[in-house]
Amino acid sequence: MSAASARIRGAVHKRRAWARARRRAVRILHDDLGLLPGQRLPDLVNAVARVRRRPVTVLRVALPPHVSGFCVRGECEDTIVVTTNTSERQGLHVLLHELYHLLCGAPPAPGPAPGTVAALVDPGALSAQLPSLPPTVVAEVLARPARPRAAAAAPAATVGRAAYGEYGGDGEHEEWAAEVFATVGLLMLSLDPARHTDPVPCPFAHRRAAV
């Protein structure tokens, strides 16, 4: 196969993979979460909380430069942390990415123990963001494993191969699917500040969604 034929074949695979992932993202948003085009961030977070049957708390906390966000699956409550070192729009993309992990994330693969929240977040900063929670609950969140989202996006070639199983494993595929879900969510729902002419309320103002 010539180099040109290989590039064309790869482009076709990427396009088909994107179409499949996009259809799945729409099904999750519309069928699983019951959302309609134009609904806002609180509707999305509340819908995830209903599906997960537990509250979802969203925080913005300073994170290391190489991490843009992570989610923590708790016994009674889920937590998503988004770095403060990003724009409002990118923060929304990270939030949707992490919501996908809460909904569709696979259990951790066998191997070295994952890092904990305490390794990514300053305990004092987290406590300040959760003033209503007792110290024992904050300590539990800090001790839980966290799956960080890298600040840099994967190269396009990597994304395409991961989509149809020619690159990495299930973890790579899940990361790619989460990116597609976030992109589709920003377009389908009324979340993207660039699409509004009127001032948009701070998307993280409603930081805790109850079941």
Query: How many angstroms from the chain centroid is the CA of residue 40?
Result: 16
Strand, coil or helix: what is 169?
coil
pLDDT at 207 over 80: no
Rounded distance between C-alpha atoms, residue 191 and residue 193, angstroms: 6
pLDDT at 137: 64
Q: Side chain identity at 34, as an amino acid letter?
A: G
- Residue in the structure block whose two tokens are 């925080």: 59
pLDDT at 143: 72
**Over pLDDT 70: what percentage of the chain?**
65
- Please give the DSSP secondary-structure letter assigned to residue 32: I
Q: Side chain identity at 8, as an amino acid letter?
A: I
Quote the mean pLDDT of the chain.
74
- Please give the DSSP secondary-structure letter assigned to residue 72: E
CB 184 within 8 A of CB 22: yes
pLDDT at 85: 87
Burial class from Cβ neighbours inside 10 Å (0-12, 13-18, 19+) for residue 72 reads buried
pLDDT at 28 over 90: yes
pLDDT at 182: 93
pTM: 0.71
Rounded distance between C-alpha atoms, residue 146 and residue 89, angstroms: 23
pLDDT at 45: 94
Query: How many angstroms from the chain centroid is the CA of residue 80?
Result: 8
pLDDT at 21 over 80: yes
Task: Record the tokens describing residue 51, joined without a space.
Answer: 């599906």
pLDDT at 168: 34
pLDDT band at 114 (very low <50, low <70, confident <90, very high): low
pLDDT at 58 over 60: yes
pLDDT at 48: 95
